[in-house]
Structure 1
């Protein structure tokens, strides 16, 4: 015979309603009571009937996560680290995470539509939002709770967790300028991603502040794994080339530096490089990469935390949460010899 809430209540010495509140993570239940109930559940081998609970509460205790479409983007360690933060927060709050991925925009829209109409999740997190993102329009149309990891270019009233990517790129570029570099290029990601636009804007602002011209031919757009080859080929074909680069992502920087070496250029002796994200491998590469630490784990954790606050009915007066960043200077950036 299966164990019931009444059995757990009897073993813990509390009422069945108290057990229900513990299962629902009610904030007014004391830690001592929670501990007693959890111990009784474990001793009796009790597992809550999630399906029955969701029918009563109209809550699935599940968060939907829309992963990036490109497999190459998802293999980037950024996503595993941000996911680690998301799962940690969700587990603490008693939520599961349902991940969705698709190979095309229509498939992505259909997947999210199924989540919404099927009430499979209580809310959704969109990672790496894009310009004029139709997923945002779909969620707004259905008045469905969601949070962006990143920001919307079109609206500033949406719940989002982000870095100040304009300032981060400004700081990275200014570091190279302080090292005496006046010929500085930029390697970007997909042009429809908001983060690409913001970091390019920060790069432009730093050049303008230093009185340096912006040269479009020194801005290179590249996808993740092919970035190094394309960017280096473009650079080597120009009569005058940069002595330093701001690269939008550590993984792109790895490929870029490898191709520089194959072209006979050394980092940082011939070309300095600064990138973003501070994934673990950036410190272990040769040379260690100068990078902007954006707090990847905390981005993930805070995004889920914000969505759960929304689902709990909390009035959120600050829809945009901006986490701090810091520049970490390592071996890939050095002073320009002629400076």
Structure 2
């Protein structure tokens, strides 16, 4: 070595170096880093091998400065976050979201609005003030103002649920809720129930509408009359289930089975039925949706539809990261499967 020669700093490996080593485009490397499902397993493996060989470390902070990004996503909750977090659906779906974004150093910004106007204004600020790079909406209802605003601004977002319109313009992750509602109804019909009550959540929410459609379709298929008095709506969780049970069981011809909007509402129904000195399932069968952990521990254990809440969140986050950072602008529609979990809250009606 020549006297006085100084070793320079190591040359940083760039994404272009990785792309050259793996013989792919730089955008493909970005997608692999973002864990995009659009990349074939073989290509992803080749890119990851190149990343390891070159000891490439993505500098997320530098990338955010260059691209004027925040490395933060907005999570838009239904109104009244306090009551929302009483429902295990939302912590679980957020757990799924964080499973996808944690290793990417992406943070979350949760909405806290108590009214629809407050939520809308908060979303406007997220976008206009560049607080987030993309948004996940955790609910969908008719006459919603948020999705049209995000479409107008061409802002990346993914919906967990089904949009009421503009399906071809909106990326979403959902269950087949019409099929799920029909499956529960069909199950009760096979148990010889003809008087089946339906307790929906928010009447304007798309998941309630889809469950009701599945319910009515299954009744029609078996030539069982649809009775308006058997359909009630409650937005509250446990208290709503109790009130709905009173309304249904006070009918002159009460239902012999009840479908509840989710497990938490079903717990309220169970409690009220027991307070009426009736037994589940001997006097009334009860089924619901979501398969929360507590549904297995209720008395009796609850028959419910497992909608794989964690997967809904994880797939939504994966789709949003793809939209935000990979350059892929393709609209993505993902359907997460569901299945019936039979427990002890139903019996054959004689």
Give the aligned partner of residue 233 of structure 1. 246
The answer to whether 1:314 aligns with 2:325 is: no
Name which of 166, 183, 190 aligns with 2:195: 183
The answer to whether 1:210 aligns with 2:222 is: yes
Name which of 248, 255, 280 aligns with 1:242: 255
> In the TM superposition, what is the alpha-carbon distance from 1:15 to its structure 2 partner?
2.9
Q: Secondary structure at the match of 1:125?
A: strand
Give the aligned partner of residue 102 of structure 2. 91
Give the aligned partner of residue 15 of structure 1. 11
Q: Secondary structure at the match of 1:220?
A: strand
Q: Which runs of 5+ in 2 are unaligned?
A: 1-7, 19-26, 33-46
TM-score (norm 1): 0.87
Q: Secondary structure at the match of 1:133?
A: coil
Q: Secondary structure at the match of 2:245?
A: helix
Deviations 1:292-322 (A, max 9, x none): 01110000000011111112122536x3211
The answer to whether 1:328 aligns with 2:338 is: no
Q: Which runs of 5+ in 1 are unaligned?
A: 1-8, 42-47
TM-score (norm 2): 0.84
**Aligned equivalents of 2:186, 2:145: Cα separation in 1:** 35
* Structure-2 change in CA distance of 1:60 and 1:233 (3 Å): same
Give the aligned partner of residue 173 of structure 1. 185
Give the aligned partner of residue 267 of structure 1. 280
Give the aligned partner of residue 33 of structure 1. 52
**C-alpha RMSD of matched pairs (Å):** 2.4
Name which of 67, 74, 96 aligns with 2:85: 74
**For this pair of structures, how many residues does the alignment match?**
315
* Structure-2 change in CA distance of 1:155 and 1:213 (3 Å): same
* Structure-2 change in CA distance of 1:270 and 1:142 (3 Å): same
> In the TM superposition, what is the alpha-carbon distance from 1:37 to its structure 2 partner?
5.9
| More displaced 10-residue stretch of structure 1: 92-101 or 102-111 | 92-101
